[in-house]
Every structure is written in C-alpha cells, then in structure tokens.
Structure 1
Amino acid sequence: MSRSFEEALINRRSYYAIKNETPISDLEIEHIVHTAVKHVPSAFNSQSARLVLLLGDNHRKLWGIVKDTLKKMLSSEAYAQSEAKIDGCFSCGYGTVLFFEDDSVVKGLQDAFPAYATNFPVWSMHTSAMHQLAVWTMLEDAGLGASLQHYNPIIDEEVAATWHLPASWKLVAQMPFGSPAGEPGPKEFQTLETRVKVFK
C-alpha cells in the first residue's frame, strides 16, 4: 500500500481475527523484519534488538509451546478459555515475530557507562518497543493484521531451547500475524487535552 507515515500509524490496529494467509511473499515479510532491525534507533546506537521470524510449522510450534506451558499452570476451565483464544486468534495466523533484547549488550553498556547503569535496561525496553511498533505498522501497511502478546517469561526457556537461541536473548513480546479475517474492534481515545500540553 502507498500510505504516508501518519496514515500508516492511524491504520495500525490489533487484529485478533486472522487467518493462515498473506497478501505478500515470505521474502517481503523478511524484508519488513530486516528493515526494522537495521533502521529503528536504539540508545547509544546499541542495536540490542533481536528478532526471530517464525513461519509455517515453526509458527505453529510456538503456540503449541504456549498451550503446553499454560496447561501445566491453569485449571481445566481456565485452560480451555486460553486454548480457544490461542487457536482462534494467534496460532491460526500465518506467522509470528518474536522480539528479544540482548542482555549481553545491555550489560556491556552498563559496564562501559556506569553513571547510566540503571537506565540501560529501561532504554533497552524503549528500543524493543520501537521495533515492535515499526514491524506492526509495516505489517499492517502490507495488508496483514497483527497483535502484540506477552507469554514471556513462562515460555522463555522452551523457546530458547527449541530454536537454539543465545542465553543472553531476553524474550520481550510475541506478534502473531496473518491476513485479516475480520475487522478490529472499536477503539476508544482519551481526550488529547488530558494527554498533551503545549506551551508557546
């Protein structure tokens, strides 16, 4: 699609009704991820973000891990509700982007700049958030629907072991996506007067 940056931000929404289809190629999806990783800013140019793109069986395997983990933790009734949501909103999609931050980079910055040591973990989350927004907005602009999920930290160890990821990679969020199978729900906005102050 050909949208301005403003239009792309306005159109970005949480899509829970998605299907295992895509209007763009896998290579184009990879390009979206690569673009975000390369060009989204980070504190001290730390480039601490790490992204994993799961497609096909790997995408479904992730949500199987989530369900297996929840089944051990929840009552039968609570698990049934979670399973229905996962099957109907996440695993039914085309793929998932996993967002990580590399703790070794963060700790290296803390050692190098001790005066800012307590800030680097916070700035690391800022970096991840910007990557999440960038990928989410570009997926939406390409005709895909996505949502942001947080099943970490309960799935962290299994995810790292399954895809042989470095121990320093800290899972921050999961973004399932696919072709929209329905419209997003209504969105309420607080008044801007309570959220923005302008002094001239």
Structure 2
Amino acid sequence: MTKTFLDSVQSRRSIYAISSEQVISDERIEEIVSHAVKHTPSAFNSQTGRVVVLLGEQSDRLWKITEDTLRKIVPAENFHSTEERMATFGGGYGTILFFEDMAIVESMMEQFVEYKDNFPVWSLQSAGMLQFVIWTALEDEGFGASLQHYNPLIDEDVKKEWELPASWKLLAQMPFGKPLMEAGEKEFMPVEDRMKVIK
C-alpha cells in the first residue's frame, strides 16, 4: 500500500540515536532539500528561508563548534551529558542548518508598512513549515532526525566557519542519520480539546 501524505506526517518523529551509515545518495538529499526550499510557501512569496546542508566532516565540525561553545558555559561537573549529546548529533550522516534572511524580512517591512509587525512572525511561520517539510521528507527516505536549537550561542562561529551572509539568522539545526532505534510512545491530548468544528 502506498504511503499517504498523512501517513508521513504521522510517522515523522524526533529520532536522537542515529548513525553515519548512508541511507540514500548525497544527490538525493540535495534534491529533497532544494525541492523543499523552492516549494515551501512564504508570506507575500518573500522566500526568506535559507538552508545549509552539512555532510560528513562538515557536520562533525558543526557539533565540535557547538561542544566547544558549550564547554565555556556549562559547569565541568555537568558537562558529561552535554558531551554525549554532541557525540550523538555528530555521529549522524549530516546536519541541516535553517536560517531566515533578515535583509529580506526588513525589506518587506519597509515595502508593506501596514503589515510591518507581521513580517517577522510570518517569517517564522514559513521557517517552521520548511523545517517540517524537510524533516518529513528525510523520514520518508529512511533517515531519523531531530530539531535542535543551539542558536544564538553558535551563530557567529557558524557564519564565520562557512562564510555565510551577516543577514542570515540561524534558527535551528537538524542532525540526521540512519535510525538506531525507533521513537518511543507519544502521548496526545484529546483532539477535541484542541479543535472545534463550527458549521
């Protein structure tokens, strides 16, 4: 039976235990991410989302930068669990960095003054959709992934390391790899408490 879109939405979960084993080709990863970047909607078609795909040693480098940054602020006696987390994320196949180009957001605010306060909010909404689309698509291909948020602690080092524009604001990091175990059970609030149908 063919997997439906809603099946894919349901099966997308946070997977933390991942390996660096190749699941699909790098070319296929690039195809998935570029398709998502192109087709995920944005307010006024502003297309503010920016993505950097780090594979192999480049992904390892990100998590080394993150570990080094956290080592400066996490007490040494508490650092072991942080070190283990960094090793887990760095042990995957790659990491996707999600940014918003704030130069475009600010330009839209200037062009459409009556909606000025909404553009930063709409930018985040579009960013969330892009993250979800890529996450779900990677899951469909057999990867496990999770969404991490070590920004703004690592922002400047990340921009410097990969020579990224100053206007790109880092929002999230998505380590992905071959799942080593399935996600645990998930609890749900009653849907009727979260949804109303009015006819």
Equivalent residue number for residue 198 of structure 1: 197
Cα offset for 1:81?
1.3
8 Å contact kept, 1:13–1:184: yes
Secondary structure of 2:159's counterpart equals helix
Cα offset for 1:86?
1.6
Post-superposition CA distance 1:54-90 (Å, at most 9, x none): 00110000000000000001101222211111212x1
Equivalent residue number for residue 63 of structure 2: 63
Write the letter of the residue equivalent to 1:9: V
Equivalent residue number for residue 12 of structure 1: 12
Write the distance in 1 (CA, Å) between the matches of 2:192 and 2:53. Answer: 39
Equivalent runs, 1:9-158 vs 2, <5 Å: 9-88=9-88, 90-158=89-157
Cα offset for 1:2?
4.8
Percent pairwise identity: 53
8 Å contact kept, 1:22–1:144: no
Cα offset for 1:3?
1.9
8 Å contact kept, 2:64–2:86: no
Distance change (3 Å), C-alpha of 1:171 and 1:2:
farther
Write the distance in 1 (CA, Å) between the matches of 2:77 and 2:148. Answer: 21
Query: Which runs of structure 1 show a deviation greater than 6 angstroms over 4 or more consecutive aligned residues?
Result: none
Write the distance in 2 (CA, Å) between the matches of 1:162 and 1:85. Answer: 21
Query: Over aligned residues, Cα RMSD in angstroms?
Result: 1.0
Write the distance in 2 (CA, Å) between the matches of 1:77 and 1:117. Answer: 46
Secondary structure of 1:165's counterpart equals coil
8 Å contact kept, 1:37–1:131: yes
8 Å contact kept, 1:3–1:141: no
Secondary structure of 1:122's counterpart equals helix
Write the distance in 1 (CA, Å) between the matches of 2:54 and 2:187. Answer: 32
8 Å contact kept, 1:96–1:175: yes
Q: TM-score under structure 2 normalisation?
A: 0.98
Structure 2 gap segments, 5+ residues each: none
Write the distance in 2 (CA, Å) between the matches of 1:195 and 1:49. Answer: 29
1:179 aligned to 2:178? yes
Write the distance in 2 (CA, Å) between the matches of 1:146 and 1:87. Answer: 15
Write the letter of the residue equivalent to 1:36: A
Post-superposition CA distance 1:33-58 (Å, at most 9, x none): 10110000000000000000000110
Equivalent residue number for residue 3 of structure 1: 3
Structure 1 gap segments, 5+ residues each: none
